[in-house]
A and B are shown apart, each in its own frame.
Chain A
Amino acid sequence: MSYEFHRFFYLLIAVVATAAVVAVSALILIYLERKVAGHVQRRPGPFEVGPHGVLQTVADALKLMGKQPFRPDGADRLLFWLAPILAFAPALPLLLPIPFGPVLTGLEVNLGLILILAFSGINALALCMAGWGSNNKWALLGAARAVAQSVGYEIPLLMSVLSVAFMTGTLNLSKIVAYQGPWPWHWNIFTQPLAFLIYFVCAVAETNRAPFDLPEAESELTAGFHTEYSGMGFGLFFLAEYTNMLVVCSVATALFLGGWQAPFLPGFWWFLIKIYLLLLIIIWFRWTFPRLRFDQLLNLNWKWLLPLGLANLMGTALLMKIF
């Protein structure tokens, strides 16, 4: 009894801590994104609220919370309000199995990777509900794009992850990290560069980030699936986007970049540094590239990533069998 209670208490702390990580990192990420955008465009970015505008995101969050929740006439009440919650809710279980440090894992499960892949699928459902429930044609187009995109890109993503799982022989993220060593040539990216590339492209696409931000493509679909959302409805989608970025980058770090394994600094800091490097690259992409067209997006997936992922998977399997 006491052991189970202990376990439960531990999980509770983990959930609360994860929620805190999500909230704080979202604030940091949004600030980072604006600053990077600003400096790339040779302007300062947010500058007025707080020193160098650090409190700008907080001010924006307060503004979003203060807005009246508004549902357009003819929108489906249940779907419309459920969608943003459903978009954000999976963020917690997604972050639980991730090993932030040698002993910093919220939920040590053997099938951690499966858990993450399973819960990440909910996002597509949320976008679909938002698009359909809004009773808006732009949103509908956005939702249709979101579903096709998520479903398509999940497959090569899965394959690249599987190649790593083949090599390490486990689906437990902590064990995958432990399998790798502290130096870069010990990391999985060294043995699986192609898988990492595929994973990263798919991760950007899965999180609907530019240049794959077609479901919201504001120059085409005004705002895509969240056209009709304002206030906290929009805020939750926004939060979900950044949390998803955090999740995919954490998984990438754990799978390919040796997780917390690195010399000199304590593991937790290394993990953070690696995550934020990946996040910076994703942000950098957004402020550099034009958007793909929808058919090009799917072509890239089905004609390039999928065959490459498959080949990589088979190659890995073959090599594992031989050696």
Chain B
Amino acid sequence: MDSVNRIRDDVAGLWSLVKGLKVTGTCFARDQVTVHYPRAQVDNLRTFRGPIELVESPDDPRRPRCIACMTCAGVCPHGCITVVRKKPAKMEKGTEKGGGSDKGEAKKKARKGPATFTYDYTRCCLCGFCVENCPVRSIRFSSRGYLAGIDKGAFVFDLLEKFGEEERSQKPEPGVTSPATAG
């Protein structure tokens, strides 16, 4: 009796094969769901959290909001953030030497800020502790999802680079450049 059932099951099973073919056949006729990468990109890159970047200061978009308090470097589980503080004394001295800049700018220059802000993306695990713990909300995730490079060094980012453009444009003015910013 058991074997009779088994034979019946086998024969009935043939129909299940046809049903399987029907499923794949329908999918064959339907649209594709993949994205042809180089021609198109995924549409939700906006919510992706890629490597971190520095936020511009609200009163001066040419400078980062960062006050170089070192919290981010401390909370990072893998030590991928290296911040070097500007030396405020030298800064003031520098601006004084320049003399040409007005008082307001001198005050801004004297503000605390990072001299260098290096971020090693190869060690970053995107946990977001630096973003959460930054007291002045100076760090945010970028949505750079398509990163490629041919050596590890390409992923060690200088986060001041995007501000550096402006600073460099100021460089010709003598006295503004200080040894700290140059380093």
Contacts and interface: CB of A to CB of B under 8 A. Distances in A.
A touches B in complex, CB < 8 A? yes
Interface of A: 36, 38-44, 47, 284-285, 287-289, 304
18 contacts: A36-B28, A39-B27, A40-B24, A40-B28, A41-B27, A42-B33, A42-B34, A43-B33, A44-B34, A44-B36, A284-B21, A284-B25, A285-B21, A288-B20, A288-B21, A288-B23, A288-B24, A289-B20
Interface residues of B, number: 15
Q: DSSP majority for the B interface?
A: helix
A40 B20 CA distance: 12
Contacts of A44: 32, 34, 36
A47 B36 CA distance: 9
Nearest to A211: B17
Contacts, number: 34
A287 B20 CA distance: 10
B102 interface: no
B31 interface: yes
A25 B34 CA distance: 29
B107 interface: no
A290 B24 CA distance: 13
B17 A289 contact: yes
A281 to B, nearest CB: 9
Interface in B11-29: 17, 20-21, 23-25, 27-28
A284 B25 CA distance: 8
A287 B53 CA distance: 45
B36 A42 contact: no
Contacts of B32: 38-39, 42-44
Contacts of B152: none
A284 B30 CA distance: 15
A289 B14 CA distance: 12
